[in-house]
Structure 1
């Protein structure tokens, strides 16, 4: 198997709101769109994102009314402090403030207008012990 692209498909109530958040604040650009659908990509190796409006008929009937929930869209970055400062300057609400976990993970979270939790992670060097 040769995986060439990773795409996350998220079902949301307002495709436009999530699309605008991801393109404005996270550097995504729209590659395709239709009523109730948007496909987003980045020039780097980050995963592509497809946004589907809740209830859209392309989803299997049992999934049409579900929303993206219980997941965290996590991005590992090499410049966590810069990302945090830029998002704060843009007026994005930080929903989980910057913290460092005992295992060396530094992270913070934001939430898009549809409630999708987006986490930014940078690995710190764990203390010798």
Structure 2
């Protein structure tokens, strides 16, 4: 089984630019109302769909309202990714930090207001 999360948004071009240029995602498929992106390692995908498109049934027409969704991106070297994003002036919503349960992470937002938690998992403190 494979999961592909989808977000309904009017911001397809801004979203494509953010994910491809900021996070190095690739484009798997794109047309005038749908965008399918993949992570750099091709292991996960996320899709974006224009709201109110006539090809879609009502369940897939309402635009995301900017709240109640977050994404987590696990990386091998959190400090390297943090520095790279800081160097290109991506706004950091939560500064890099270590959590007692083992995460080392920071957070940014995409053009749709979705919080993106970028994390390296480590062993929890004893």
Q: TM-score, normalised by structure 2?
A: 0.87
2:41 corresponds to 1:38: no
Q: After superposition, where does 1:15-30 map in structure 2 within 5 Å? A: 15-30=12-27
Give the deviation of 1:125 after TM superposition.
2.6
Q: Is the 8 A contact 2:35 2:48 kept in 1?
A: yes
Q: Which runs of 5+ in 2 are unaligned?
A: none
Shift of 1:23: 0.3
1:119 to 113, 117, 120: 117
**Matched-pair contact (CA < 8 Å) for 2:10–2:63:** no
- The runs of 5 or more residues in structure 1 that have no matched partner are none
**Shift in Å, 1:51:** 0.9
Query: Taking structure 1 as reference, are residues 39 and 94 closer, same or farther at Cα in structure 2, changes over 3 Å only?
Result: same
Number of equivalenced pairs: 125
Matched residue, 1:85: 83
Give the TM-score normalised by structure 1.
Answer: 0.85
Tell me the residue number matched to 1:73: 71
Q: CA RMSD in A?
A: 1.8
1:127 CA drift (Å): 2.3
Cα distance in structure 1, aligned partners of 2:77 and 2:87? 15
Partner SS state of residue 82, structure 1: helix
Question: Is the CA contact 2:34–2:48 (under 8 Å) kept in the aligned structure 1?
Answer: yes
Q: Give me the whole-angstrom Cα distance separating, in 2, the residues matched to 1:95 and 1:52.
A: 25
